[in-house]
Structure 1
Amino acid sequence: MKSLKKKRRIQVLAVAAVALVISTGMIGYAMRDGINFFRAPSQLATEPPKPGETFRLGGLVEKGTLKRGEGETITFSVTDGGATVPVKFAGVLPDLFKEGQGMIGTGKMEDGVFVADEILAKHDENYMPKEVVDALKKQGVYEAPNS
């Protein structure tokens, strides 16, 4: 009788281990495109993304570069003080989006232009995404807001 219980227990543990491995693999497979890595313009200059790779670009909207095209197409440049990346976006920009302010966009590089699917702008006078602040500090162009 003890031998049967021991076999059954080993079978249950083996099935549980296989189920755990399969579920971990499925979760990893599902998330492969959902992870977007943040990059600053200077990082793009030294380490270009793979073709078709989706990532997040952050920095300051360069003054004098915001241009509205036909329809909803908008072009501007993002800088971190060390490099500048041209950006193209088709859609409605956030209300607080403007030149000289911090932003993060999600998208892909196409022919040297970052084509954004989504644009996020800072939401109040004291907030800027941590990744953008860190990249700007690294380039020596970050100015802390007056509190």
Structure 2
Amino acid sequence: MIKRQVIVVKTYCFKLYKAKRNRKLHKVINIAGIIYNHCIALHKRYYRLFKKSLNIYKLQKHLTKLKKIGKFSYFKEVGSQAIQDITQRIDRACKLFFRNLKHKIRTAPPSFKKIRKYKSFTLKQAGWKLLKDNVIEINK
């Protein structure tokens, strides 16, 4: 008899309306879009120079260095795990693109997104709290 372990993942999806109390969340989502586009630009530049895909760990290390520079200090408003999720999504998309190229399936590489159309970011462990009556508190 084979016993399988089942992992349960809870996902909450909320729609944010334009309200004063949601300004900070909208700002964080916009910064996540900027980070996404920055990572895409780095991937394209790296491929143009070295003809291979950028390693996810190098990319994450680069972003942590950028957060320490004054020009990019606003990256700190997005949680580190949310940034890691952005880099993981881009890495999966690049790997899928190169796999499809290898198997001669016609696809496009991951591309830039308009920041105003970037709609979400992921909070894995930190940055949120579940309160009574199914209320979620995000970043205080």
Tell me the TM-score normalised to structure 2 length: 0.26
Larger radius of gyration between Structure 1 and Structure 2 = 1
Q: Which is richer in helix?
A: 2
Q: Which is richer in strand?
A: 1
User: Greater relative contact order (Cα 8 A, min sep 6): structure 1 or 2?
Assistant: 2
